[in-house]
Chain A
Amino acid sequence: MHSDSSDIRKSVRKYFMIGAVLYAFTVITVAANQVQLALPFAVTVALIIAVSKGSMVASVFMHLSHEKRWVYGALLLTVAFFLVLMAVPIFTTMDTIGTPIVREAPAGGGHEGH
């Protein structure tokens, strides 16, 4: 954690550099969108760039790269619950609730022989 002014001065340059990198990544995100990619690939690329940008904001601006264990613990718990939350849409497609069950009418009168 920053404790003296020399550490802070070194960090100031890093803050501006990360800001510039974030701007560049934003331009890359928009440029990548101009390329007509298939949706799954477009989603993957967009999320990779967004996660990279988010990681920079979290680790540098929010000082998460050198925080205490209690903060990491709280965030780890949050990430676990967040993943469950994101997985919930998958559960909605795994059941047949709301899907009409179509039964074929049996063939006229006949039983299959033994």
Chain B
Amino acid sequence: MNIPYTVEARPDTGLSNGKLGIWLFLASEVMLFGALFSTYIILRTGSTTWPHGELSVWLGMANTFILIGSSVTMVMAWASLKLNDWGKHRLYLILTFVLAGIFLVNKYFEYADHFARGETPAHNTFLAIYYTLTGLHGLHILGGMIVMAYLIGPGAGLWKRNPGQFTNRIEFTGLYWHFVDLVWIFLFPVLYLL
């Protein structure tokens, strides 16, 4: 049995199933991260002192550059498919995966450095919310990488069988990835700069 509207748009919404589905999922993700940002506001306004300068701004900036670059390569992976250029699509998607991996490696070294100095989540309130926010964000990066690995690997066969559906899957993955980048765009100044 074929699931309808995986490629063509529904006549009532004008959207394919996956497009509406991913936007509804992202709406739930906004509430998830919004709750944590709200927690940050409560914790910070309720504290008499708040640490400053505990995080490496340059490493945070480098990670911001990496994620922005990965957003560009992700949208280019989709655009290449729309232009029927399979080779460029593969290049851009693999590049996005690699950039995501570099982000996580940087995060690992950053966490390891903090832990080596005894700066664990229990050390103070700032570090508790820092690890919570960036840890959850890091898990989202990992989730995105798993999806990308599937679309680079076994999932790539769908391009030959149903190119429209495969292009849509790349678009939906891109929407998720841009959201993850968007969260970091707010996380970086809030945690590293303010």
Q: Which of A11, A23, A53, A71 contacts B79 (CB 8 A)?
A: A11
- Report the nearest A residue to B176, measured CB to CB: A62
A77 to B26, CA, bound (A): 12
B75 touches A15 (CB 8 A): yes
Chain B residues within an 8 Å CB radius of A39: 194
A-B contact count (CB 8 A): 119
Size of the chain B interface, CB-CB below 8 angstroms: 46
A58 to B83, CA, bound (A): 22
Tell me the B residues contacting A by CB distance below 8 Å.
Answer: 13-15, 19-20, 23-24, 27, 30-31, 34-35, 37-38, 41-42, 45-46, 57, 61, 64-65, 68-69, 71-72, 74-76, 79, 82-84, 174-175, 178-179, 181-182, 185-186, 188-190, 193-194
Query: A57-100: which residues lie under 8 A (CB-CB) from chain B?
Result: 57-58, 61-62, 68-71, 74-75, 77-78, 81-82, 85-86, 88-89, 92-93
Chain B residues within an 8 Å CB radius of A93: 45
7 more CB-based (< 8 A) A-B contacts, given A26-B188, A33-B194: A29-B189, A46-B194, A49-B189, A57-B71, A61-B75, A70-B13, A86-B41
> Given contacts A57-B181, A57-B182, A78-B27, is CB(A5)–CB(B35) below 8 Å?
no
Minimum Cβ distance to chain A for residue B92 (Å): 11
> Given contacts A15-B75, A33-B57, A92-B42, is CB(A74)–CB(B27) below 8 Å?
yes
Chain B residues within an 8 Å CB radius of A9: 83
Size of the chain A interface, CB-CB below 8 angstroms: 46
B65 touches A23 (CB 8 A): yes
> Given contacts A57-B185, A75-B23, is CB(A2)–CB(B174) below 8 Å?
no
Chain A residues within an 8 Å CB radius of B84: 5
A92 to B38, CA, bound (A): 12
